[in-house]
Amino acid sequence: MSFKLPKLPYSYKDFEPYIDRKTMDIHYNKHHATYTNNLNQAISNTNMINFSIKEILEKVHIESPVLRNNSGGFYNHNLFWKILIPHTQYTHPSVYLNDIFQKNFNSFDFFKKTFSKIAANHFGSGWTWLCVKEEKLTICSTANQDNPLMYGMGCEGIPILGLDVWEHAYYLQYQNRRLDYISAFWHIVNWIQVEENYKKTIKK
């Protein structure tokens, strides 16, 4: 089995003015495509050729940087594209999801504030995550293309939302203004998908 770059259900321009067309094009066709190709090369002629991406993530170790970086890059971006939605279709969290945020963070606004602060303060390249652990929501960050499904990250749970804070995700438009990029992100989150991701975790 080989992994494939997912087809996007929108066009690159659909996120303007929050994320520009050129950034989306390069992010998907260059960065994500490279992780996908490198992952397939790394697992060729190994027993991992028949593993799912989650099975690979659970087995990758710090001493396997090529497999670790590319399996993470493949999975992380797959999740990222799914939780984005064109701003013309912008949705707010449902009453159900809002209640979940209320229970875990006292309010949806406080969740956004906390998540944004962690993303802004993350040093260097990486990701900030909203995860579910034992039916509770947690926020954490990982370096590079690491994610909470990998062992020993100090960031545990099943990710249901992730924000890419690598410079390639925003630098063409925002330069070093990561805070502006994070603020723009909230205009294009697909809360319906985030809710579906959450519900899948509590059914297990």
How does pLDDT run along the chain (204 residues), one tens digit per residue?
689 999 999 999 999 999 999 999 999 999 999 999 999 999 998 889 999 999 999 988 767 899 999 999 999 999 999 999 998 887 899 999 999 999 999 999 999 999 999 999 999 999 999 999 999 999 999 999 999 999 888 898 999 999 999 999 999 999 999 999 999 999 999 999 999 999 999 875
CATH number of 20-204: 3.55.40.20
Residue 148 one-letter amino acid: P
- What are the residue ranges spanned by the domains of the chain? 20-204
User: Who contacts 51 (Cβ-Cβ below 8 Å, separation ≥6)?
Assistant: 43, 59
What span, in angstroms and rounded, lies between the C-alpha atoms of 38 and 130? Answer: 27
**Beta partners for residue 131, in sequence order:** 138, 159
- pTM surpassing 0.85? yes
What span, in angstroms and rounded, lies between the C-alpha atoms of 135 and 148? Answer: 15
| Residue (of 87, 88, 115, 121) closest to 101 by Cα position | 115
Joined together, the tokens standing for residue 118 give 């962690």
